[in-house]
Amino acid sequence: MRGRWKAAAAITLSGMLAVSGCGGGDKKSNDDASKVEVFSWWTGPGEADGLAAMVADFKKNNPSTQFVNAAIAGGSGTQAQAVLASRLQNRKPPDSFQGHAGAELLDYIKAAQIEPLDSFYDQNDLRSVYPQQLLQQISHQGKIYSVPVNIHRSNMLWYSPAVLKEAGIGGPPATIAMFITDLKMVKERTKKIPLSLGAQWTADHLLENVLLGDLGTDAYNALWKPGADWSGPAVTKALTDFAEILKYTNTEAASTDWQGAAKDVVDGKAAFNIMGDWAYGYFIGGAPNGLGKKLDTDFKYAPAPGTDGTYMWLSDSFTLPKGAPHRAGALAWLKEASSKQGQDLFNPKKGSIPARTDADKALYTGYLQYAYNEWHKPGIKLAGSFWHGVNATKKQHTDIDTAVGLFLQSKDVAKFQAALSAAAKNSGQ
């Protein structure tokens, strides 16, 4: 496990920013365990079920603590993070909040808005049950700043076997070029949506997959290093392919979040959807949040075109805000989120695998068995998801999203590439 992390594209937090005013993990103020307000964006199918399972275990272990679910709806945390920023700026933090492990945490650390958790890790013997390279990714200047709950894979292609059969396509495309050909076949031979897309952030998600699929792991990872050059012909080719792929997406995409786009595939209305593996929890989950669909009948999966052999990863984690009103309650929640029991309750429903290395492997079946084995496979290559917080700072993340939004209107590849190049130069790395 540890050796694989050396291949990751994620930016190590250590030494990147100067931090002042962060408290130590053994701070004693606000030690009130009567309540805990946990802020996340887990309101959708699969993720809400996973959170509910973990919360139920938390309540059993902490019967005198009132749990307040402060989740804000919106795929990928787009709405939640805006609300969170306002609360932190006004010094009204929740007791704990969700954040993607990696570069996304840098702004919180720089602003002294979250505490280091070294004492928490030591008191709960956690250093030995997390991959050391993962701990490095959530650390700054040698201090750990969050508790990872899971590992997700971003580069997954979900497809309808029925629609592919109708279009005369024998299986999932292995390359970006094959993908474009298949999209064209679906459009010409069926009345189905070739590629279902949702709100704008799902286009950002698609972009990172096309970049990885066209450039390959090493060149993709190089894009996120300080001083990276986004102006070359290989990037131009990838962005041109991205533009071509967008021609085969559904026109109502802007008003639909990821769940609606993914549902089109398992309902047989669309051929393909590129989305992280949280979609799996949504597909197979039962009522009221899940769709109750069957793997290999209603849907199948494959690595996104051109990305087989690479695990584009992200990790959800929880933090300890500075000045948390119920600090003891927050630490109790972090203990739940970091526990083997909590992660094994949460992840099978969420559609992810545990961040801990000692999970009960028998609980991970179907797609999750595949994901678990891929993650642990010797020689698997790693690439960080820029959209989901691993290797892009918040500024670069925002600048890329702005560039994507403009591109969806103009379809001007040259201007798009220039905007992405500027975003890299002004990323703050």
Does residue 391 share a domain with residue 379? no
Rounded CA Rg of the chain = 21
Q: In whole angstroms, what is the distance from residue 111 CA to residue 133 CA?
A: 24
Does residue 271 share a domain with residue 138? no
The tens digit of pLDDT for each residue in 109-149 reads: 989 999 999 999 999 999 999 988 788 877 888 999 999 99
Does residue 114 share a domain with residue 95? yes
Looking at residue 152, what is its pLDDT?
96
Does residue 272 share a domain with residue 135? no
Does residue 173 share a domain with residue 112? no
Looking at residue 289, what is its pLDDT?
82
Looking at residue 75, what is its pLDDT?
66
- CATH code: domain of residue 213: 3.40.190.10
Does residue 110 share a domain with residue 172? no
Does residue 207 share a domain with residue 300? yes
Does residue 294 share a domain with residue 392? yes
Q: In whole angstroms, what is the distance from residue 113 CA to residue 89 CA?
A: 9
Q: How many domains are contained in the chain?
A: 2
Domain coverage including residue 178: 156-312+387-425
Q: What global pTM score does this model have?
A: 0.86
Does residue 146 share a domain with residue 8? yes
Residues 6+ apart with CB under 8 A from 62: 33, 329, 332, 336
Q: What is the mean pLDDT of each run of 10 residues along the chain (429 residues)?
A: 39 36 44 93 87 97 97 79 92 95 88 96 96 81 94 97 98 98 98 96 97 97 94 98 97 82 97 96 88 97 98 95 97 98 95 95 96 92 92 92 97 98 87
Q: In whole angstroms, what is the distance from residue 179 CA to residue 144 CA?
A: 41
